[in-house]
Amino acid sequence: MDSIIAGLGAATGFAALQIANDYILKDHGISCLCPPLGAVAVLLFCLPGAPASQPKAVIGAHVIAGVIGYAVVQSGLAYGEAIAVALTITAMSAAKMVHPPAGAYAFLYVNKGMGLKGILAPGLVGAAVLVATQMVFNSTFKPMLSGGKKKKS
């Protein structure tokens, strides 16, 4: 049953991402859809108790990845993707906010040559939508789906 609930949570999260993207963000020229968010959903809905799944880690690490990605793009360094991932890992570890998908976001940021908006979207906004969805799902729907039983951590 846990795997079904995790899948339903992820589906709910991606429905929320699509709605936010199509009805809120699109008109402002930004998006909240990017590949690393698939990995964010795996952590949030399959491993909600993991340190990498905590809101501070998810949001903080995406801020770190965005800022580092922007700095690397602006610097024009060779092998920027590698540098951005390495610096993101270092900064996440130092800040005690390790969230692996943020490393993938740093890579994507540099690979696509994103500008200043990339700090906010798609990674940070998308991660925030998924975190908010997970909180609502876990407090509202998950207890109903699991028969009202809280799983021991």
What CA–CA distances, in Å, run from 107 to 4, 89, 113, 146, 151? 31, 11, 10, 37, 36
Task: State pLDDT tens for residues 105-121.
Answer: 999 999 999 999 999 99
Average pLDDT over residues 34-46: 96
Average pLDDT over residues 129-146: 89
- Nearest Cα neighbor of 105 from 14, 35, 26, 16 is 35
Segment 65-69 long-range contacts (CB within 8 Å, at least 24 positions apart): 65/92, 65/102, 65/103, 65/105, 65/106, 65/109, 65/123, 66/105, 66/109, 66/118, 66/119, 66/120, 66/123, 66/124, 67/119, 68/106, 69/105, 69/106, 69/108, 69/109, 69/110, 69/114, 69/118, 69/119
Q: Residue 146 and residue 44: Cα distance in Å, rounded? A: 17
Say if residue 153's pLDDT is above 60.
no
Q: Which phi and psi (to 5°) does residue 66 adopt?
A: -65, -45
**What's residue 2's pLDDT?**
87
**What's residue 27's pLDDT?**
94
**What's residue 148's pLDDT?**
63
**What's residue 64's pLDDT?**
98
- Nearest Cα neighbor of 99 from 126, 139, 72 is 126
Across the chain, the runs of DSSP E, i.e. the strands, are none
Which pTM value belongs to this model? 0.90
Confidence label for 141 from pLDDT (cuts 50, 70 and 90): confident
Q: Are 101 and 116 in contact (CB under 8 A)?
A: no
**What's residue 149's pLDDT?**
58
